[in-house]
Amino acid sequence: VHKAPELLKESVYGLTELHRSEIKKARVVGNPGCFAMSCTVGLAPAVKNGLVELAGIVCDCKTGVSGAGKKPAAQFHYPERYDSANAYRLTGHQHVMEIERELSALAGKDVKVTFTPQVIPMTRGILSTLYGRLAAGATQAKVLDAYRITYDKEPFIVVKSFADAVQTGDVRGSNRVILTVACDERTGTFRVVSHLDNLVKGQAGSAVQNLNVMFGLDETLGLGWPGAHP
Amino acid sequence: VHKAPELLKESVYGLTELHRSEIKKARVVGNPGCFAMSCTVGLAPAVKNGLVELAGIVCDCKTGVSGAGKKPAAQFHYPERYDSANAYRLTGHQHVMEIERELSALAGKDVKVTFTPQVIPMTRGILSTLYGRLAAGATQAKVLDAYRITYDKEPFIVVKSFADAVQTGDVRGSNRVILTVACDERTGTFRVVSHLDNLVKGQAGSAVQNLNVMFGLDETLGLGWPGAHP
Amino acid sequence: VHKAPELLKESVYGLTELHRSEIKKARVVGNPGCFAMSCTVGLAPAVKNGLVELAGIVCDCKTGVSGAGKKPAAQFHYPERYDSANAYRLTGHQHVMEIERELSALAGKDVKVTFTPQVIPMTRGILSTLYGRLAAGATQAKVLDAYRITYDKEPFIVVKSFADAVQTGDVRGSNRVILTVACDERTGTFRVVSHLDNLVKGQAGSAVQNLNVMFGLDETLGLGWPGAHP
Amino acid sequence: VHKAPELLKESVYGLTELHRSEIKKARVVGNPGCFAMSCTVGLAPAVKNGLVELAGIVCDCKTGVSGAGKKPAAQFHYPERYDSANAYRLTGHQHVMEIERELSALAGKDVKVTFTPQVIPMTRGILSTLYGRLAAGATQAKVLDAYRITYDKEPFIVVKSFADAVQTGDVRGSNRVILTVACDERTGTFRVVSHLDNLVKGQAGSAVQNLNVMFGLDETLGLGWPGAHP
């Protein structure tokens, strides 16, 4: 049960890159889920610019184990978790509606996504591979351009083309998202790979970024060296 | 350069479940690639039975590091590889043509797939999440039925519905493939998760299975306790 | 509280290599603790043959996490445990008295050991480094000889000299103990490194070996391919 | 071959806590090896204060894989290294002479140590368990006092008693050494557990600390948030 339902009305969705001006004026900000951050940042420019077909978007997400929180459980017990990967909650994950609400707002019409959460044997990091069909006329070059233009001035979003080698380790302990635009023109498929640290940009780092915006501070304040544990 | 091109003509593709009768009579069998095994076994029943649209099939594949072989390299050096995941060779991977050739043969027409190989910080196992659009009339129940019927008598293929918890650790050291049929009817999306051990069914185990077929032996011979290293 | 204290009197300590003849006639056998197995097997020949001073023996033991059992706990939660090692229970560990009782019996006088249990971020395996002062006249060559003679006919104990490269991965899934004799004559120090799989020779494998002895079966029966999980 | 042998004469050993005043005046400082740092800091107060017998000191050291450097090699290839631990170079390791030279200087007579380097499947961290015989009259309480007094004003050395839970993860990314004093009075054994991050206090962090001393800067400058890779 929500503890303060009367505040929900004035609450703003804290995905800074999409809602910065509202966050500036907000008293209550709801921080995005880690998967939702990863997918929404990775899909927004394509959806907003009509570069991907709205039907058939797929979010294939792999998270490190810290995404499940600190509470011990059988499936996160070290001997059960090392050297093993699995999908879970293949329908009904709570982050789906965050992604769909944001993408629908950007598209101006209803967007549904297929969402596959998966746990892999690492501690920190989310690697989301985002798929769809390239819209008529859309190409790798046009998609890459749209992403570069959208995020050009963002301090925490980095756009790369498929030629670059990126891994989740590159954003470990950082508030950055690295997006690799890697459409497959041979099959007409839109594809973007989104990399973030679920404990920083996917969680506490994002909250700090929002606080900076709310209080009129430099948006990168306190985010140069996020915590190293675990 | 191929060492014996004159043998290519009589060579048979060693995906036992699809080519058993040819393998029985073959002198030369080409063992499938680990990703190709994972994806082709996971897609064949849907493609053969017209349950998935042929355009827009996506193979999102995650492999343990042993899939890259024994040769040391910077990106597989323990400190560089632990706690980090990455996509690579986003176009032109050598396993794509194996998958497309087999699916095209089953469909009776040209099939192209979008293939995303990814390395995750584990040693053994491949988790492939396979997507497409459900064909008109196809449902989770129909897809599940088709998979169960297709693989009913296969000693090494296990079909489960999305209600079951499966992880790659469950096939560690085993020659089995576990397929989880988990279509998302809400979005009209076909989805199957394929789990195998890249060093057994994805490699040496599959070769042993083929040798058993070629020599008329019990197909499961020698595969009860595959090697534990690494 | 012990459930059947009346059976304690006839119970035999199930360290097969030291108590085989008693186990043969026993109805009740108590399986050794994993650390106790590792240390006692590694120290017995030196103690029995007077090659190490009885005062000042040190057992520095490193175990994989599965040694703590299946019950989830904060310190074995994957994100807390990966990439971190620690010592624990530096006094009063329950395996100390097993080791001391066995060594005292072999020496014919009271032996005390310093025991340091440590957890390292792996799943299976115990690496115990065993130290003491070389007794007068004892050398690496003499110690190595004593170990080779003692364990010459044992199916599950392998003795190597310090020139050989051994790691716990070599006994993964196996009922073997590999002992590396590596005394440091420069400092007059006795040193043996003991490697076993805590889930096999350190636990269930050892129990199977004892059952084989009790029932007059081939001692290696059922131990060729121990379980691969986890 | 050394490139500038003429500088060796004026070179100072850069273990800041032992040689601060010399480092202040030095032009050339030689940074300690990671194991040598771990052991020397952990043994110095006991040796200097005569609390441990000089004969029979043992350094049982476990290091993460990054201690071996960045160069890929078969034994550090991810699939060969995960879930396996091993001892190596059981005689003749290059860090032994660093430890012995420092301890001999503190004792005023020749000290030899038995050194056991071991690699465990983690990336960062060294856990060294240091043993010896308690000198006549030495107790856990006296040893603990000596360590607390010795390191009381050191910004990077933390002394704890055996009652505290410490793991190498606690110093991950930090320039600190945590020393747990845990003598075993029952067996008359001196024991200290030393925890550091081999890439920081065991390497680059220590160098930065020395540069701060050499240039008269705050000794902790630049060491608040050491690098997070790998």
Instruction: Quote ipTM for the complex.
Output: 0.95
Q: Is A70 close to C76, i.e. CB distance below 8 A?
A: no
Residues of A with CB below 8 A from B129's CB?
60, 87, 116, 118
- Which residues on chain D are in Cβ contact (under 8 Å) with A122? none
C169·D90 Cβ contact <8 A: no
Q: Using the beta-carbon criterion (under 8 Å), do C172 and B229 form an inter-chain contact?
A: yes
> Chain A contacts of B166, Cβ < 8 Å?
86
Angstroms from C230 CA to nearest CA on chain A: 6
Q: Answer yes or no: do D187 and C122 touch at CB < 8 A.
A: no
For residue A23, what pLDDT is reported? Answer: 98
Q: Is the pLDDT of residue D112 over 90?
A: yes
Identity at B11, one-letter amino acid code:
S
In the numeric block, which tokens belong to residue D11? 């070179």
pLDDT category of residue B95 using cuts at 50, 70 and 90: very high
D78 to B81: CB separation less than 8 angstroms, yes or no: yes
Residue C5: burial class (beta carbons within 10 Å; 0-12, 13-18, 19+): exposed
Nearest CB among C82, C172, C230 relative to B228 is that of C172
C59 catalytically annotated: no
Q: Where do we find the tokens 């590091």?
A: B65
Per-residue pLDDT band for C225 (boundaries 50, 70, 90) equals confident
Residue D84 distance to chain B (closest CA, Å): 10
Res A226: pLDDT: 67
Q: Which pLDDT tens digit goes with each residue over D145-184? A: 999 999 999 999 999 997 778 999 999 999 999 999 999 9
Give the integer Cα–Cα distance in Å for B177 and A102: 37
Q: CA–CA separation, B81 vs A54, rounded Å?
A: 36
Summarised one tens digit per residue, pLDDT across range A74-120 is: 999 999 999 999 999 998 898 999 999 999 999 999 999 999 999 99
Contacts of B222 in chain C (CB under 8 A): none
Q: Tell me the sheet residues that pair with C61.
A: C117, C128
Q: Which residue in chain D has the smallest CA separation from A223? A: D225
Among residues C34, C59, C61, C183, the one annotated as catalytic is C34
Question: In chain D, where does DSSP find H-type helix?
Answer: 16-25, 34-48, 78-81, 96-107, 140-151, 205-214
Across A194-208, C58-72, C161-175, least confident range: C161-175
Please answer yes or no on whether A173 and D82 come within 8 Å at the CB atom: no
Query: D9-31 pLDDT, tens per residue?
Result: 999 999 999 999 999 999 999 99
Cβ contacts (< 8 Å) between C70 and chain A: which residues?
74, 77, 79-80
Residue B46, Cβ density class (10 Å: 0-12 exposed, 13-18 middle, ≥19 buried): buried
Distance from CA of C194 to the nearest CA of A (A): 22
Q: Is the bond preceding D72 in cis, omega lying within 30 degrees of 0?
A: no
pLDDT band per the 50, 70, 90 thresholds, residue B2:
confident
Quick check: A36 pLDDT over 80? Answer: yes
pLDDT of residue D26: 96
Residue B226 is predicted with a pLDDT of: 67
CB distance D76–B81 less than 8 Å? no
Angle (CA) D75-D80-D81 rounded to 5° is 75
Q: Give the model confidence (pLDDT) of A108-150 as tens digits.
A: 999 999 999 999 999 999 999 999 999 999 999 999 999 999 9
Q: Which of A34, A39, A61, A183 is catalytic?
A: A34
Chain B interface with C: residues with Cβ < 8 Å: 82-83, 169, 172-174, 224-225, 228-230
- What distances in angstroms separate CA A139 from CA A143, A186, D51, one per listed residue? 6, 10, 74
pLDDT of residue D17: 98
Token pair of D52, please? 């441990």
How far apart are the CA of B11 and the nearest CA of chain D, in angstroms? 32
pLDDT reported for residue B228 = 72
> In this structure, are residues C130 and C116 in contact, taking their beta carbons and an 8 Å threshold?
no
Q: What are phi and psi of A48, to 5 degrees?
A: -65, -35
pTM, entire model: 0.95
